[in-house]
Each structure stands twice: as C-alpha cells, then as structure tokens.
Amino acid sequence: MSEVDPPILVSRLGADLTPAYCELSDTLDSRTELEAIRRTIHQHPELGFEEHRTAELVAQRLERWGYAVTRGVGGTGVVGTLRNGASGRSVGIRADMDALPILESTGLPYASVHCGKMHACGHDGHTAILLGAARQLARTRNFDGTVHLIFQPAEEIGAGASGAQRMLADGLFERFPCDAIFGLHNHPGVPVGTFMFRAGPMMAACDTVTITIRGKGGHAARPHQSIDPILVAGSLVMALQTIVSRNVDPNETAVVTIGSLHAGHAPNVIPESAKLELSVRSFSPEVRTTLETRIRQLVSSHVEGYGAAVDIDYRPGYPVVVNSEAETEFARQVAEELVGPDKVVGQIPLIAGSEDFAYFLQQRPGCFVRLGNGAGRPLLHNPAYDFNDDNLTIGAAYWTRLVERYLGA
C-alpha cells in the first residue's frame, strides 16, 4: 500500500478541516501504520470471546507505549490505563473487537483468512482508531488525570452474555473508575468523517420472542379432525400488526417484526406445530414493558381461540442506548472543534439497531458517537462491507482531543 499522509487525508475527506485537526494529525502515527493495524485485525477476525489474537495485539502495543495493561477483563477484554498529573478525574473510552459469523465477499487483499468469519461491522476500525489515540496520548500526555482505554469483546454475541455485561460483572468500573464513558461506531451511508450525536435515547432496546403453537396434526384431506397450527400462525401474524398501531402512543417509536415462520414438511400433512420468531424494538422502558405485556396477552388469547396451545419464550435483549445530555453536548463540541460544524450533526433520528454499550451508560454518564463511513458503501453486517480507512486518523484525533478536553491540564 502507498503511504497517505494526514494532509492528503484532509483533501480526501472533501472538507476544510480545522487547525485543531491539522495540529493533531501532524503528530499522529501515519495513516499507513494505522491501516496496517486495522487490516491485520480484519484479516484475522475472531468471534465473541475468541479475540485472543486481537487482544494480545492490543495489549502488546499498549505495554510498549507505557500503559498499565490488564488482560482477561470479562473474558478476552483488555483495559489500558494511563495516568498523568495529580487530578483525580478519570474517563473511559471503549472500542469493540469481535467479528461476525459471515462469509466475506469483498475480494480485498486483506480479506478474512478464516472462512465464515469477517469484520462486517467495523470493529477492526474501532480498535485501530483507539490504538491510534492511545499512542498519541502516551506521546504527548497533554491531560491531567486517568484515562482507561477499554477494548471490549463480544459486542455481537447477544444479551445475557455480551462483552459489556461480562466486563461489568468482572468489576470494570470498580477496578477502573470512570467519571464518564464514551464509545464510537461507524455509520455507512453518511459522508466519511461526519460526526453524529443524539442526546437521550439513541438506539433501541431489542427483545426476541419465540412463539411455538401446538396444534393437532393430521391428514390434509381431513382438516376438521385436526387443529391446524399453520392457520393459527397465519392469523397471528396479522393480529400482531395491531400491537404497535393500537397499543403504543403515536409519539413513541416501536417495531414488532415477524422474521421467521416455520411449519410442516409435506403438502398433504397438517403439522403438529408452528414456530414464529419476532424482533421487538423500543426506545423507552415503558413502551418496552407495554409491548411484552400485550404480545403475551394477544398471543395467548388468539391461539386459545383456535383450540391450540402455545409456548412463549420472551428473551430480553440489549436495553436502550441513552446518552446523557451534558456528555453528549461536550462530545459534540469536541467534534466541532476538530472538524468544524459543517461535519457535525447535533441530533440525528432514532436508530432502531441495538448496542451493548447501553449497559455501560446505565452505570455511568456518557455518549455513544456515530462516525460516517462513506456514502454509497455497503451496510453493516453485509458480506461486502469494509471499514473506511479514511476515518482512522480522524477518529484517533477525535479520541485524543476528547480526552485532552475532558481531563484538561
């Protein structure tokens, strides 16, 4: 690959970035070095709690730069701690490290060497960005206090056993006290280098429901002697569409999607059972509770009306990502200082996706930031997705400046 220096990066972003960014970019590790880190992580993707190679890459670099490194936090997580000055203030910055069970189709020279695993969500980029900031903070030490760099495993693994939950259960904030915590995620479809914020609820709570309808199997020629679970399931699909429209305040936002319906194996057999799987998304605890209550009530009464039986497995997922007002405003101001107001969106629409960063925000104030990954690029969790390397130095500069401002010397 050819070296691209930060001033060239500025022109590629298509914007007149501020003197603050240019000043930082002049001292950051070259884009080529950050690209090399990002691409080696991309080439060797590891699923949740399997991030041994990635975690060791992170830990060795942090140790080389003078950080106190703690391995194995919450499984395969790594925390790098750097102290400077006498202040008792502290801040945490989080990057996720895990990949997805997806077969990559990018055809890139640094594509995954592990068939069926790939970095389709940009966690390779998030990790490289935070390492770039780590190097800069260790070099300049232009802050007064303590910074904890949190490299989290298993964001993609799901609620109940996610990396954030495991790190918190392992005493993350007791062992590494943070006055506030910040995280970042790339956002395809938005011009590269654009910072996006939203105070209050930002990303949805996501629950999963499995509904198993148990009817009475029989011959297709004698349906009157059976209880057809397919008929019940089809009717239930339509009935579930009333949950949001007739139970949720129109000023609120919620989604109930039936993503899977399976029943039967032959055209001349009425099966014994049918199974539906739902994704239920909401942006407030009250609406989340309403959805669960009404789904349980509707499903039970609806199925009973057909003479069938039903099992409902309602599995709570990640909670709502709620950014605190003060920390969001602070993070937005840092972005404006770095890239100028034209590349900052202060209050984006709600995002129906979910994130386990929500668990950190339940325990500490903070902000989850979105960073544009480029217009017209493949979406997240797509086999053709790739993180945009134009964001590496700008993301590293952002975390550096945010720490410097939060822990102002």
**How, if at all, do strands 309-315 and 205-214 pair?**
antiparallel
Q: Is the pLDDT of residue 337 over 60?
A: yes
Q: At what angle do helices 31-43 and 52-64 cross, to 10 degrees?
A: 150
Which pLDDT value is given to residue 24?
A: 65
Which pLDDT value is given to residue 13?
A: 45
Which pLDDT value is given to residue 10?
A: 32
CA–CA distance, 168 with 180 (Å, rounded to integer)? 14
When the pLDDT of each residue in the chain is averaged and rounded to a whole number, the result is: 94
Instruction: Find all residues with CB under 8 Å of 112, minimum gap 6, and list them.
Output: 42, 43, 44, 45, 99, 104, 118, 119
Which pLDDT value is given to residue 160?
A: 87
Predicted confidence band of residue 230 (pLDDT cuts 50, 70, 90): very high
> Which tens digits make up the pLDDT trace of 184-207?
999 999 999 999 999 999 999 999
* Torsion region of 59: left, alpha or beta (phi above 0 gives left; psi -120 to 50 gives alpha): alpha
CB 209 within 8 A of CB 293: no
Supply the Cα-derived Rg of the chain in whole angstroms. Answer: 24
CA angle 162, 166, 169 (to 5 degrees): 140
Q: Which is more confident, 160 or 379?
A: 379
Backbone angles phi and psi of 5, in degrees to 5: -80, 160
SS3 105: coil
> Which tens digits make up the pLDDT trace of 100-140?
999 999 999 999 999 999 999 999 999 999 999 999 999 99
- In the DSSP assignment, the letter for residue 61 is H
> Which tens digits make up the pLDDT trace of 385-406?
999 999 999 999 999 999 999 9
Place of tokens 């495991």: 166
Closest residue by Cα to residue 182 from 218, 150, 222? 150
Which pLDDT value is given to residue 11?
A: 29
Domains of the chain (ranges, CATH numbers): 6-203+320-406 (3.40.630.10), 205-315 (3.30.70.360)
